[in-house]
Amino acid sequence: MIAGFQTPDAGAIAFDGRLVADAKTLVPPEARGVAVIFQSYALWPHMSVARNVGYAMKLRGAAKDDIDAGVEAALDRVRLQGLGGRKPEALSGGRRRRVALARSEAQDASVMPCDEPLANLDAHLRAEMTATFAALDRDTGRSFIYVTHDQSEALALATTVVAMEGGRVAQEGPPHELYASPASRQVAGFIGHGALLDVAIGGRSAQRRTPVVLAGVTLTARSARSPRGPRGLLLVRPEAVRLDGTLPACAMQALYRGSHFEVVARLDDGQTLTLHAPARVAQGERLSLSIADAWLVPEEDGRAFTATE
C-alpha cells in the first residue's frame, strides 16, 4: 500500500502531508516518488549494471549526461565504481544487492520500502550492507520502510523502536533503551538474548538500584522503581556475565562462536543463564560467576511475578 500496489480499505497514507492513498484515492506508484528494493533483487538480466541503475531516470526523460552522472554517483555511493559495464549475472549476491540499492538511489525517491533486502546474504555481507543502509539513511534524509526478521538489523538501523504486545504499545524508545531496560516481561523476552531469572528482593531500592538474591548470592540490579513484592524477575544478558565471582554454577554446554564460547550454565538453584566466555569451558566444569549488569524487570499490573509464570 505504501508503494501503491494495493488500495487500503480504510484509513489514509500521506507523504509529507500529500495524500497518496485512501479508500477512494490511489496515486500510481510511478507518481509517488517511491523506490522499492525487492528481496529478489529484480534486476534486468539483459541490461548492464549501469543501464539497470539509470533505467528509471531514462523513463523520466532525463538527458544522457544527467543519467551518466546520476549512475556514476549512485554506484560510487554503494562502492561499485567501475562495474557499470558488467551484467548482473557476473556479480556476487552482495554486489547484486548493491546494484538494486544504487538503482533506488538514482531514482531520487523520498520513500524507499525495502523487502528483507539482506536476505540470503552471508554474515559478513549482511554486516557490510547494514552499514551501507545506515549511511544512506543518515546522509540522504529519505524515509526507509525496512522489513526484516533480523533483530540485529532492526536495532542497528532504527532510531526509535516500538515493541507491541496484543495490539498495544508495550514500550517505545531508542534501541539501546529497549535492550538494556525493557519495560515488561514480554519485551525482555523478545528483544535480544538473555536469561529471565527468578530472584528474591533483598532490600529497599536506592538511586534506581535494588539488591536481589539469586541462588543464595546477593547482587545489585538496575531498576525503574522499588518493587512491591518479595520476588522479582531479573534480566541478565550473556555479555554481562563473567567467570570471576562468587555465584556458583555448572557448565552444561559450550559452543564456539568465533569471538567467544557461548556457555549455558546451570545455577545451584536449577535456573540457567548464558554467558560469553573468552576460552573453552568443559561440560560439567564448576564455575564461579559474577554479573556486571542486570535489570530488574518492572512489575506488571502492580504485582510481582516470577520466571515460571
Give the C-alpha distances (Å, rounded to integers) separating 99 from 46, 80, 88, 181, 291.
14, 8, 8, 39, 45
Closest listed residue to residue 36, CA positions, set 116, 92, 90: 116
Is 79 within 8 Å of 137 (Cβ atoms)? no
- The CATH number of whichever domain residue 46 belongs to comes to 3.40.50.300
How many whole angstroms separate alpha carbon 82 and alpha carbon 85?
Answer: 8
Q: Do 119 and 212 belong to one domain?
A: no
Residue 168 in domain: no
* DSSP annotation string for the chain: --SSSS--SSSEEEETTEEEEESS-B--GGGTTB--B-TT----TTS-HHHHHHHHHHHTT--HHHHHHHHHHHHHHTT-TT-TTS-GGGS-HHHHHHHHHHHHHHTT-SEEEEESTTTT--HHHHHHHHHHHHHHHHHH--EEEEE-S-HHHHHHH-SSEEEEETTEEEEEE-HHHHHHS-SSHHHHHHSS--EEEEEEE-S--BTTEEEEEETTEEEEEEESS--SSSEEEEEE-GGGEEEEEEEEEEEEEEEE-SSSEEEEEEETTS-EEEEEESS---TT-EEEEEES--EEEPPBTTB---TT-
Q: Do 149 and 42 belong to one domain?
A: yes
Q: Do 153 and 237 belong to one domain?
A: no
The mean pLDDT values, 10 residues at a time, for the chain of 309 residues are 92 94 90 87 92 89 91 89 93 88 84 87 83 85 88 91 92 96 95 96 92 96 92 97 96 95 97 96 96 93 44
What string of H, E and C letters represents the secondary structure of 180-197?
HCCCCHHHHHHCCCCEEE
- The CATH number of whichever domain residue 238 belongs to comes to 2.40.50.140
pLDDT at 305: 43
**Domain final residue pick, 140, 158, 176:** 158
Q: Do 259 and 146 belong to one domain?
A: no
Predicted TM-score (pTM) of the model is 0.79
pLDDT at 41: 82
Domain containing residue 153: 33-158
Count up the domains in the chain and report the number: 2
Residue 166 in domain: no
**Domain final residue pick, 113, 143, 158:** 158
- Could you tell me which residues are beta bridge partners of residue 10? none
Residue 46 in domain: yes
Q: Do 199 and 260 belong to one domain?
A: yes
